[in-house]
Chain A
Amino acid sequence: MKNDLILRVIAKLLIPFILLFALYVQFHGDFGPGGGFQAGVILAAAVIFYALIYGLADARKVVPEPLVESMMAIGVLIYAGVGVAGLLLGGNYLDYFVLDPNPVRGQHRGIFWVEVGVATTVSGVMLKIFYMFADRGKVDEE
């Protein structure tokens, strides 16, 4: 597949849009359907798509495995960090109201960062699963 010109060109065209769509789903999640889970999966799908067309080795260069593992961890940390921030600002754990003088904006801010954390972890996990399975049995065509 690596040598199929059409696929490679179309992939190059599509992947930026997939990434863009992921960001849209991520940020629009506050107002409409969407959010971190979906965005994370779409983000991961873009990379998986890339791996399918350009090969696993190339994908590993773009998104190396340690990065993927770190993404899983960092996402959880962001989520937990928002909770701790609530604690530090005098509220309960995961209290968003205190994140901003204006409680409504506080809610907004809290949700935003939580969703960032979720997206990071979900895409990390998805990629990790993909890498893990794709690696087995050496099906990668080199």
Chain B
Amino acid sequence: MTGATTSMTLGSHFTYFITIFLMVAGLFIVISRPNLIKKLIGLGIFQTSVYLLYIAPAKLIGGTAPILSNAFTVYSNPLPHVLILTAIVVGVATLALGLALVVRIREAYDTIEEDDILARDSNAEDNGNAT
């Protein structure tokens, strides 16, 4: 689409760098943090990078909002926006569900640290009252 028309310079592709930074940072948080909330934050950052990946190329320099008018001929691509609106909703739902689960996990385990939860479960198994 747009980016491909210009030459490969750092400047013209800066959105991709941001995208990739967010992507990797988010994924890293998910993997490295034992705190369940922080994991969800990481997941959020990771998903945000996708929004950027879609939206950034859709913007044409000099293009306007895609509402027909005689004054303009160059429009930004509206489709990615619609897609990402959907993706955001999905992200919100995921986050809400994740947080709800964390709340209930905290009620059941009294902790939101992954290691503690695993430790408590294995203890319960040892005592034979797992189920």
Interface segment among A3-11, A44-52, A53-61, A129-137: the answer is A129-137
Contact of A133 among B93, B103, B107 (CB under 8 A): B103
B85 at the interface (CB under 8 A from A): yes
How many Å lie between the Cα of A132 and that of B101 in the bound state? 11
Contact assessment for B99 and A37 in the assembled complex, using a CB-CB cutoff below 8 Å? no
Interface size on B, residues (CB 8 A): 10
Chain B binding surface, main DSSP class? helix
Interface size on A, residues (CB 8 A): 8
Contact assessment for B89 and A136 in the assembled complex, using a CB-CB cutoff below 8 Å? no
A-chain residues with CB within 8 Å of residue B31 when the two chains form the complex: none
Q: Other CB < 8 Å A-B pairs besides A125-B93, A136-B103, 11 of them?
A: A32-B67, A33-B65, A37-B85, A37-B89, A129-B96, A129-B100, A132-B100, A133-B99, A133-B100, A133-B103, A136-B107
Query: Which A residues have a C-beta under 8 Å from some C-beta of B?
Result: 32-33, 37, 125, 129, 132-133, 136
Query: Which B residues have a C-beta under 8 Å from some C-beta of A?
Result: 65, 67, 85, 89, 93, 96, 99-100, 103, 107
